A and B are shown apart, each in its own frame.
Chain A
Amino acid sequence: MTNNIVEIDNLSFGYKGRLLHKGINMAFPRGKVVAIMGGSGSGKTTLLRLIGGQIKPSKGQVRVDGAVVHEQDRDGIYNLRRKMGMLFQHGALFTDLNVFENVAFPMRELTDLPETMIRDLVLMKLNAVGLRGAHTLMPAELSGGMARRVALARAVALDPNIIMYDEPFAGLDPISMGVICGLIRSLNDALGATSIIVSHDVKETFLIADYVYFVADGVVAAEGSPHDLMQSTLPFVHQFVHGDKDGPVPFHYPAGNYQSELMQVSAT
């Protein structure tokens, strides 16, 4: 058995004639927290969807626990997904179910556990994210940070081997961000799972990640431990990590000559 629970081999993916990924290679070792970072639109979330089998690669493959994801039939994909948990960017809580029912959802749908056991498990998961007292609330009554924590409890409801996080820190206040940050690391270690974090928040991600991939222009532009990447002299990594305005990533979207465009508008 390989030490990597997820492997991405020479993966290319594109749509509408645009190639988003051009031969990406990545490995996600068991028990580690691995981050995928990159600018907006660099295809980070698409990588999670490729790992989850929601879309198929144009070339190359993703292997989860040794199985090639895009070669699986519906049952095979569902069997693989039972090993995964995913935290969506905005939580994706079911709005017609309360907090308790949201966390109980995967247990009720995918297992034959008795209701008394489900109740205990849900309360344990909610206690782990500090929201046991909120189990009767509806998603509309939760703050963004609370919704993200409930979604996290739901993602780990069945103790998955792989937990994927799509922008877990986006739009959170500093306290919620710190709480989520700590929870990702502690849940990963407690469950012995592998965590894949997609994010562009450098500080929080570097705090908990064991290994980081930087994606830019459809390829892995840099990789290494957070410490190595902090010291990196690669222009792209330096600009991203330190948030420099000038660098290989241009501030301006490609456009024509500024002055002549202004003159053109004035003339019309």
Chain B
Amino acid sequence: MIKSSLLSSIIRTLSGIGHRVTSRIWRLGASARLFYLTIIYSGESFRRFHLTLREIYATGVMSLLIMIVSAFFVGMVLALQGYNILQKYGSSDAIGVFVSLTLVRELGPVITALLFAGRAGTAITAEIGLMKTTEQLSAMEMMAVNPIARVIAPRFWAGVISMPILASLFSMVGILGGYLVAVPLIGVDDGAFWSQMQANVDVRLDIVNGLIKSVVFGVVCTMIALFQGFDAPPTAEGVSRATTRTVVISSLAVLGIDFVLTAFMLAV
């Protein structure tokens, strides 16, 4: 009796694990398929570029305020912490390089992507999930209008275009925040701040690599948000879970991919 109940409990556990694994693989395949179809139908969506422009406004422009405020504070904190460390080694003049390299190489693309996932990614998931729940996507299909070309592709390209612009603005505003703390507040030399930055920040190794990172994050974060919305069960709970998953998966993906990209870029 005990033996058979133990056996059935083991079978149940194994079957549960198997179900979870196959479900994850299925979702991975489904997201890859959605990505493929998004690329295939992008041409249709580019013909009506005003749709993409509207989404750039919704995802990019509407995220500007949170990005700028965050960047300003991040830059100021970096300057404070950087000065605190650098002055011990007598190199407080290098604070401009410290702030700019940290922002351009890492914090700009990464924090922008994390904020983007929280601000725009969740909005995309919730919007598409609700469109599915209220049968708007089905209605579109029944009108012979492809929802991937009309709804998914414009949002995808809006995210991919917005992310590097937002990351660049983040780095610029962050540097400005760092400058305001380092120069007027702490008293670091104005000329040293800018000239060291100019001498040590490389366009290809630092700025271009940072931009490449933000483009990759744009693809990943936007696609995760789109897939979670498109795949959400058409219920209030389903949309809510999908929105949470967007933030969790995007954040982990950004941090993981950042490590891989950084390792690759430093090796090259």
| Residues B142 and A109 in contact, CB atoms below 8 Å apart | no
Q: Which of B68-76, B131-139, B161-169, B188-196 contacts A (4 or more CB under 8 A)?
A: B131-139
Q: Which residues of chain A are within 8 angstroms of B199 by Cβ–Cβ distance?
A: none
Asked if A90 CB lies within 8 Å of chain B CBs, one says yes
A131 to chain B, nearest CB (A): 18
- The DSSP consensus for interface residues of chain B is helix
Asked if B105 CB lies within 8 Å of chain A CBs, one says no
| Residues A105 and B136 in contact, CB atoms below 8 Å apart | no
Q: Which residues of chain A are within 8 angstroms of B142 by Cβ–Cβ distance?
A: 52, 54, 81, 84, 86
Q: Tell me the complex Cα distance, A86–B144, Å.
A: 11
A101 to chain B, nearest CB (A): 13
Q: Tell me the complex Cα distance, A82–B143, Å.
A: 6
Q: Tell me the complex Cα distance, A77–B143, Å.
A: 11
- A86-B139, A92-B139, A109-B150 known; A81+B144 contact, CB < 8 A: yes
| Residues A92 and B144 in contact, CB atoms below 8 Å apart | no
Binding site for B on A (CB under 8 A): 52, 54, 77-79, 81-82, 84, 86, 88-90, 92-95, 105-106, 109-110
Q: Tell me the complex Cα distance, A93–B146, Å.
A: 16
What 9 pairs between A and B have smallest CB-CB spacing? A92-B139, A92-B135, A78-B144, A81-B144, A86-B142, A109-B145, A106-B143, A88-B135, A82-B144
Q: Tell me the complex Cα distance, A78–B145, Å.
A: 8
Looking at A77, A79, A106, the one whose CB has the most chain B CB atoms below 10 A away is: A106
A117 to chain B, nearest CB (A): 19
Pick from A52, A78, A90: contact of B134, CB under 8 Å: A90
| Residues B136 and A106 in contact, CB atoms below 8 Å apart | no
B33 to chain A, nearest CB (A): 14
The total of Cβ contacts below 8 Å across the A-B interface reads 44
B146 to chain A, nearest CB (A): 8
Q: Which residues of chain B are within 8 angstroms of A79 by Cβ–Cβ distance?
A: 144
Asked if B141 CB lies within 8 Å of chain A CBs, one says yes
* Residue ID in chain B nearest A160 by CB atoms: B143
Interface residues of B in 77-136 (CB under 8 A from A): 130-131, 134-136
Q: Which residues of chain A are within 8 angstroms of B146 by Cβ–Cβ distance?
A: 78
Binding site for A on B (CB under 8 A): 130-131, 134-136, 138-139, 141-146, 150
Q: Which residues of chain B are within 8 angstroms of A86 by Cβ–Cβ distance?
A: 139, 142
| Residues B143 and A92 in contact, CB atoms below 8 Å apart | no
Pick from A77, A78, A88: contact of B139, CB under 8 Å: A88
Enumerate 8 A-B pairs (CB-CB under 8 Å) in ascending A order: A89-B135, A90-B135, A92-B136, A92-B138, A92-B139, A93-B136, A95-B134, A105-B145
Q: Tell me the complex Cα distance, A81–B150, Å.
A: 17
Looking at B136, B141, B142, B145, the one whose CB has the most chain A CB atoms below 10 A away is: B142
Q: Tell me the complex Cα distance, A106–B140, Å.
A: 9
| Residues A110 and B134 in contact, CB atoms below 8 Å apart | no
Q: Tell me the complex Cα distance, A79–B143, Å.
A: 10
| Residues A95 and B136 in contact, CB atoms below 8 Å apart | yes
Q: Tell me the complex Cα distance, A78–B140, Å.
A: 11
Given pairs A77-B144, A79-B144, A92-B138, 7 additional interface contacts (CB within 8 A): A81-B142, A88-B139, A92-B134, A92-B135, A94-B136, A95-B130, A95-B134
B123 to chain A, nearest CB (A): 12
* Residue ID in chain A nearest B54 by CB atoms: A96
Pick from B130, B131, B138, B145: contact of A88, CB under 8 Å: B138
Q: Which residues of chain B are within 8 angstroms of A88 by Cβ–Cβ distance?
A: 135, 138-139
* Residue ID in chain B nearest A77 by CB atoms: B144
Q: Which residues of chain B are within 8 angstroms of A110 by Cβ–Cβ distance?
A: 143-145
* Residue ID in chain B nearest A157 by CB atoms: B143
Looking at B135, B139, B146, the one whose CB has the most chain A CB atoms below 10 A away is: B139
Q: Which residues of chain A are within 8 angstroms of B141 by Cβ–Cβ distance?
A: 54, 81
Q: Which residues of chain B are within 8 angstroms of A92 by Cβ–Cβ distance?
A: 134-136, 138-139
Q: Which residues of chain A are within 8 angstroms of B139 by Cβ–Cβ distance?
A: 86, 88, 92, 94
Q: Which residues of chain B are within 8 angstroms of A52 by Cβ–Cβ distance?
A: 142
Q: Tell me the complex Cα distance, A84–B144, Å.
A: 9
A267 to chain B, nearest CB (A): 23
A43 to chain B, nearest CB (A): 17
Q: Which residues of chain A are within 8 angstroms of B145 by Cβ–Cβ distance?
A: 105-106, 109-110
B103 to chain A, nearest CB (A): 35
